[in-house]
Chain A
Amino acid sequence: MVELMTPLFVILCPALAAPLILLFGKRPNIREGWTIAAGIATFTLVLSMIPPIVDGEVITYTFFQTIFEGVACGFKVDAFGLIFALTSSSLWILVSFYSIGYMRSLKEHAQTRFFFSFALAIFGAMGIALSANLLTMFIFYEILTVSTYPLVIHDQTPEALSAGRKYFAYLLTSGVFFLFAVMMTYYLTHTTDFTNGGIPALATAPRLTLVLLFFCFLLGFLKAAWMPFHSWLPTAMVAPTPVSALLHAVAVVKAGVFGIVRVVCYIYGVDLMREVYVLNEQLTLGLILACIAGFTMIVANLFAIAQDNLKRRLAYSTISQLSYIILGAALLTPDGIRGAMLHIPFHGYMKITLFLCAGAIMVVTGKRNISEMAGVGKIMPRTMLAFTITAFGMIGIPPAVGFISKWYLCLGTLEGGGIMMIFLFVLLLSSLLDVVYFFPIVHTAFFKEPEGEEKAVEVKEAPLFMLIPLVITAVFSIIFFLAFVLRPVEILSPFADILSLHIYELVGIAVENVLA
């Protein structure tokens, strides 16, 4: 345990950027400068926390002891939290550049409000990543919900306002369940700290209480968009694309699954999840969670196939991919949890590339529906190349990194044995369905001829501010894969680690912590 002020500074960067953005609203370039500066500062600080954590330390910082005995409001950065923090902070910088390009190309209104809410949302996400206990996490969780609302309703059309109301209806109700679960945990155990292997005192609670408490936690994490409470996510696609990228890859949904993994591994603990059952001895909490995840995976993919709007299709794809993470945690095996934790950053990078491409297509051609995107591959070859590579990654085909996390998840199902092996088939079926809805997009973009105009197609990419971030995220998706392949090689190992932001090492440490 190392007491450092770094976590405090990590939080302060976006928190201070927010009012500065408001103040400099009339000077757009300086205003954007604050966002970029805060992003770079946050990422640097998060990077600086890697060495101690990789050595096995845990960084703590306590704000104050609360009036509740045994609960302090503060941060405890362990390997798992650092993974989420790295994902959020690195992607914030890239999405910020992208947003600048996007907002200025479209000459959007209310840009100050946009960047202000963005900074506050990242403040919330970083707080969630670094929090030491459920109460601190709850505080930042609600801040995240409230701060992303202005982003969702940005367009202020009646449709956007209605989407915002639905967003709040789902997520604030979910917050209420989360609050109940936090207070119940405190009442049962007199602590809400994330403990490796789960809070021991929780095991003494009555079984029915534990079952109901778990479901309250699950309902508290509707940000993870598990079915049937997922429909806020496709509806929230009315938001501008940088926001959808943020919602889908970085902040909101990953905070949801992060919370679920935290509860499964650090509050309940793997052993308790295996022991507590509903009705029948076989129907353990782990199995129920895995079933929910499996159901979501398949059904969300089926919904995705039916969508014509590109962003909505990607939204359902996200719902499905989030359930991969939930399934990995529910498997309660080392490889399963490893797969889940790896999928958090990997899916983040891949999905964000897909969304950024969708936004670029919208800006350049004005098209939102896949059926209209014939020939886009010729107009925007680089964008569509990035899209294709990462789409393959989502399916699970190298060279993008999606293959690695899916591989570990499959290994996890085999390790789980018994009834858990069914989920191997669920995973494979889901990957197959991924092909069914990703492939047509690629096919339409590259190989279909656009109807009507015969004029020569000129290459017109999105502005550089938008193009470069999405290329970077696509390239990193490949780098993560290469890093995994090259890690065993002695000479290249340090470079591989640095390039992959030490993700593999951190996940290794986190899995050890969980299963200690």
Chain B
Amino acid sequence: MILTEQFPVLIVTIGVFAGYTILLAGWLNRKSCFYLCLMTILAQLVMAIFVLRHVLTVGIIHYWLGGWRPPWGIEYVVDALNAYVLVIVLFIGLIGAIYSKRSVEHEIEARKHVTFYTIFQLIVAGMCGVVVTGDMFNMYVLYEVASLTTYALIASAGGRALRASYTYLVMGSIGICFYLLGVGFLYSVTGSLNMRDVSLLLPPLYGSRVVQAAFVFFFVGLSIKMGLFPLHIWKPDAYTYAPSAVSVIISAAMSTVTVYALIRVIYSVFTLEFIRSYVGVDITICWIAAIGIVAGSMLAIVQHNLKRMLAYSSISQMGYFVLGVGLSPISSWGLLGAVAHLSNHTIMKGCLFMAAGAFIYKYGLWDIRDFEGLGKKMPYASAAFTLAAISMIGVPPSAGFVTKLFLILAALHSTEVFYGYAYVFVAVILFSSLLNIVYFWRVIERMYFVKTEEALNGGVKEGDAPMSMLMPMLLLAALCIVVGMVWLTKIPLPFIADTLSELGLGVLP
């Protein structure tokens, strides 16, 4: 269907135009901003689902912006991985938007709502653009759109959020500049910005220092944007002090998009051959990831502020992604783990941050030590938090368990190449489960099982969070289990086969 091939660019342009429309409509009626934003993201999600269906049944979508041929024109390329990430990003965007209605009313002054939703719409549009584009510089542009709007939204909470946003601004800009430097280096040796074109032109240059330096710049730059340990300094403050709805979006969607960018750059631009020829880079990436997994979890254990703890948990989860990417040259299970974690992490983290936001919205609770009796006061929100936490810990058959399963199998396969070291990675993955238990379980224990005076006396039930905040949370909590079970079955096999072949990796052994 020709119409479906237009959808990728439509998704981005609708997003941008909607930003303007929301701004204008806000002059007339402040309340309409939310609904406009919601409708737009819904429309984008519907289009994204059609795109996914098209890609899985017909084939890759190529769209030439303005009709100009690549590599001179900007090309939008949507293959299986793209379409999947697009659906995930828009889904969490939609859920987050529904969630944001009451949360934003509570946390942001009324006169700023119009700008809030304008910028929110632009974040989503920017992220969609990063996901669908096939041109490296275009990815930079749209990534900056998404990032700058994120900095603004984080700062909208005022107070300490201003400082947090400023730190994020500085570090994020450094990160994306590194990415731009990488793009520049590649452009200087190949003369092209189109991803597919560069990947065809690069093979003779694999040994060149420029190309190797470009790879390192890409990796470091995107690691800063991802918040991989030790380049994570901006993350705790940014996630903690941002408004709750914004925390949901940046933790669930932005990190997904950044990891996607990393996978795309490594496997579609610098292909598998490059990594195999650049001796030692895969094990370096794995070690960095392994250290990140453990460090993030250990730092999370000492936190008392719930959102800060979740931020460090995110830092740890980024390690899982990078470990999957690092193990992929040896075993396709690694990339499967990273790709599966794209959806699993989004669902789990989104749910956790939504629950944290609900606790703040209803009772102003930031500190875990105040959570006593919360299981009775806010039963549904606590239940959603518990389900998502159980999934993060890796209790089967949840989503987090599936990721760990794939990564462990990848690490076991890598014993053929890494010999003894591979068992370290297995141990790291399993040990991180235990660390997750430590810091999640104390929250759950305090919510449900610690006896309080009020609880013994029957407790004051002021009720749970409002429906518009509860429904998204509960949906995500249910998805934690459902998506986990789906990944265990053979249902995603066609999608996985497509993704792996498009990225140049073999079939699943």
Name A residues whose Cβ lies closer than 8 Å to a Cβ of B: 64-69, 73, 138-139, 142-143, 146, 150, 153, 156-157, 161, 164-165, 168, 172-173, 176-177, 179-180, 183-184, 186-187
> In terms of DSSP, what is the predominant structure of the interface of chain B?
helix
Cβ B490 vs Cβ A142 within 8 A:
no
Residue of B nearest to A109 (CB): B456
Residue of B nearest to A186 (CB): B409
For this complex, 16 residue pairs linking A to B, each with C-beta atoms less than 8 Å apart, are: A65-B490, A66-B488, A67-B487, A67-B488, A67-B496, A73-B489, A139-B397, A146-B390, A156-B451, A161-B449, A164-B445, A165-B445, A176-B430, A179-B405, A180-B426, A183-B409
Cβ A172 vs Cβ B434 within 8 A:
yes
Given A66-B490, A172-B437, A187-B412, A179-B430 contact (CB < 8 Å): yes
* B408 close to chain A: CB less than 8 A: yes
* Contact pattern, B 483-498, Cβ under 8 Å of A = 1, otherwise 0: 0000111101100100
How far is it, in angstroms, between the C-alpha of A243 and the C-alpha of B448 when the chains are bound? 19
* Contact pattern, B 419-447, Cβ under 8 Å of A = 1, otherwise 0: 00000001000110110010001000100
Chain A residue numbers with a CB within 8 Å of B441 are: 165, 168
Chain A residue numbers with a CB within 8 Å of B272 are: none
Cβ B396 vs Cβ A183 within 8 A:
no
* B395 close to chain A: CB less than 8 A: yes
How far is it, in angstroms, between the C-alpha of A142 and the C-alpha of B396 when the chains are bound? 7
- What band does the interface of chain B fall in when counting residues whose beta carbon is under 8 Å from A? 20 to 34
Cβ B489 vs Cβ A66 within 8 A:
yes
Cβ A176 vs Cβ B434 within 8 A:
yes
Cβ A156 vs Cβ B450 within 8 A:
yes
How far is it, in angstroms, between the C-alpha of A187 and the C-alpha of B406 when the chains are bound? 12
Known: A67-B488, A157-B451. 19 other contacts (CB 8 A): A66-B490, A67-B489, A67-B496, A73-B489, A138-B396, A139-B396, A139-B397, A146-B390, A150-B448, A156-B449, A156-B450, A156-B451, A164-B449, A172-B433, A176-B430, A179-B405, A179-B408, A180-B408, A183-B409
Residue from A139, A157, A164, A183 in contact with B412 in the complex, judged by beta carbons closer than 8 Å? A183
Cβ B409 vs Cβ A65 within 8 A:
no
Chain A residue numbers with a CB within 8 Å of B434 are: 172-173, 176
How far is it, in angstroms, between the C-alpha of A152 and the C-alpha of B449 when the chains are bound? 11
Residue of B nearest to A183 (CB): B408
Chain B residue numbers with a CB within 8 Å of A69 are: 508
How far is it, in angstroms, between the C-alpha of A459 and the C-alpha of B237 when the chains are bound? 68
* B377 close to chain A: CB less than 8 A: no
How far is it, in angstroms, between the C-alpha of A66 and the C-alpha of B409 when the chains are bound? 14
CB of A135 to closest CB in B, whole Å? 9
* B413 close to chain A: CB less than 8 A: yes
How far is it, in angstroms, between the C-alpha of A67 and the C-alpha of B402 when the chains are bound? 10
Within 8 A of A (CB), among B467-506: 487-490, 492-493, 496
How far is it, in angstroms, between the C-alpha of A177 and the C-alpha of B429 when the chains are bound? 12
How far is it, in angstroms, between the C-alpha of A42 and the C-alpha of B56 when the chains are bound? 43
Nearest 4 CB-CB pairings of A with B? A139-B396, A187-B412, A176-B430, A64-B489
How far is it, in angstroms, between the C-alpha of A168 and the C-alpha of B440 when the chains are bound? 12
Q: Which of B449, B490, B493 has the most CB of A within 10 A?
A: B449
Q: Which of A68, A73, A176 has the most CB of B within 10 A?
A: A176
How far is it, in angstroms, between the C-alpha of A167 and the C-alpha of B338 when the chains are bound? 32
Name B residues whose Cβ lies closer than 8 Å to a Cβ of A: 390, 393, 395-397, 404-405, 408-409, 412-413, 426, 430-431, 433-434, 437, 441, 445, 448-451, 487-490, 492-493, 496, 508
CB of A140 to closest CB in B, whole Å? 8
Chain B residue numbers with a CB within 8 Å of A180 are: 408, 426, 430
Cβ B408 vs Cβ A168 within 8 A:
no
Residue from B412, B433, B488 in contact with A184 in the complex, judged by beta carbons closer than 8 Å? B412
Q: Which of A64, A69, A157, A177 has the most CB of B within 10 A?
A: A64
Cβ A187 vs Cβ B395 within 8 A:
no
Cβ B405 vs Cβ A183 within 8 A:
yes
CB of A183 to closest CB in B, whole Å? 5
Q: Which of B396, B413, B450, B490 has the most CB of A within 10 A?
A: B396
Chain A residue numbers with a CB within 8 Å of B492 are: 67
Chain A residue numbers with a CB within 8 Å of B487 are: 67
Cβ A161 vs Cβ B450 within 8 A:
yes
How far is it, in angstroms, between the C-alpha of A69 and the C-alpha of B487 when the chains are bound? 14
How far is it, in angstroms, between the C-alpha of A172 and the C-alpha of B441 when the chains are bound? 12
Cβ B489 vs Cβ A143 within 8 A:
no
Chain A residue numbers with a CB within 8 Å of B408 are: 179-180, 183
Chain A residue numbers with a CB within 8 Å of B405 are: 179, 183
Residue of A nearest to B407 (CB): A183
CB of A438 to closest CB in B, whole Å? 35
CB of B489 to closest CB in A, whole Å? 4
Residue of B nearest to A68 (CB): B409
Chain A residue numbers with a CB within 8 Å of B430 are: 176-177, 179-180
Residue of A nearest to B431 (CB): A176
Residue of B nearest to A64 (CB): B489
How far is it, in angstroms, between the C-alpha of A464 and the C-alpha of B60 when the chains are bound? 71
CB of B449 to closest CB in A, whole Å? 5
CB of A197 to closest CB in B, whole Å? 25
Residue of B nearest to A63 (CB): B489
Residue from A139, A150, A187 in contact with B409 in the complex, judged by beta carbons closer than 8 Å? A187
Residue of B nearest to A187 (CB): B412
Chain B residue numbers with a CB within 8 Å of A172 are: 393, 433-434, 437
Q: Which of B487, B489, B493 has the most CB of A within 10 A?
A: B489
Q: Which of B397, B404, B413 has the most CB of A within 10 A?
A: B397
How far is it, in angstroms, between the C-alpha of A432 and the C-alpha of B116 when the chains are bound? 78
Chain B residue numbers with a CB within 8 Å of A184 are: 412
Cβ B490 vs Cβ A161 within 8 A:
no
CB of A124 to closest CB in B, whole Å? 11
Residue of A nearest to B509 (CB): A69
CB of B360 to closest CB in A, whole Å? 26
Chain B residue numbers with a CB within 8 Å of A65 are: 489-490
How far is it, in angstroms, between the C-alpha of A172 and the C-alpha of B395 when the chains are bound? 9
CB of B388 to closest CB in A, whole Å? 14
How far is it, in angstroms, between the C-alpha of A68 and the C-alpha of B410 when the chains are bound? 12
Chain A residue numbers with a CB within 8 Å of B431 are: 176
Given A65-B490, A67-B492, A180-B426, A187-B396 contact (CB < 8 Å): no
How far is it, in angstroms, between the C-alpha of A156 and the C-alpha of B445 when the chains are bound? 10
Given A64-B489, A73-B488, A168-B437, A161-B395 contact (CB < 8 Å): no
CB of A424 to closest CB in B, whole Å? 39
Chain A residue numbers with a CB within 8 Å of B451 are: 156-157
Chain B residue numbers with a CB within 8 Å of A73 are: 488-489
Chain A residue numbers with a CB within 8 Å of B490 are: 64-67
CB of A178 to closest CB in B, whole Å? 10
How far is it, in angstroms, between the C-alpha of A180 and the C-alpha of B437 when the chains are bound? 17
How far is it, in angstroms, between the C-alpha of A150 and the C-alpha of B386 when the chains are bound? 13
How far is it, in angstroms, between the C-alpha of A159 and the C-alpha of B430 when the chains are bound? 28
How far is it, in angstroms, between the C-alpha of A69 and the C-alpha of B489 when the chains are bound? 11
How far is it, in angstroms, between the C-alpha of A285 and the C-alpha of B413 when the chains are bound? 26
Chain B residue numbers with a CB within 8 Å of A138 are: 396
CB of A108 to closest CB in B, whole Å? 14
Residue of A nearest to B455 (CB): A156
Chain B residue numbers with a CB within 8 Å of A68 are: 409
Chain B residue numbers with a CB within 8 Å of A187 are: 409, 412-413
CB of B180 to closest CB in A, whole Å? 38
Residue of A nearest to B336 (CB): A67
How far is it, in angstroms, between the C-alpha of A64 and the C-alpha of B488 when the chains are bound? 9
How far is it, in angstroms, between the C-alpha of A161 and the C-alpha of B451 when the chains are bound? 10
Given A161-B449, A183-B405, A67-B493 contact (CB < 8 Å): yes
CB of B402 to closest CB in A, whole Å? 9
How far is it, in angstroms, between the C-alpha of A476 and the C-alpha of B506 when the chains are bound? 59
Chain A residue numbers with a CB within 8 Å of B390 are: 146
Residue from B395, B409, B449 in contact with A143 in the complex, judged by beta carbons closer than 8 Å? B395
How far is it, in angstroms, between the C-alpha of A150 and the C-alpha of B426 when the chains are bound? 30
CB of A141 to closest CB in B, whole Å? 9
Chain A residue numbers with a CB within 8 Å of B395 are: 142-143, 146
Chain B residue numbers with a CB within 8 Å of A179 are: 404-405, 408, 430
Residue of B nearest to A157 (CB): B451
Chain A residue numbers with a CB within 8 Å of B496 are: 67
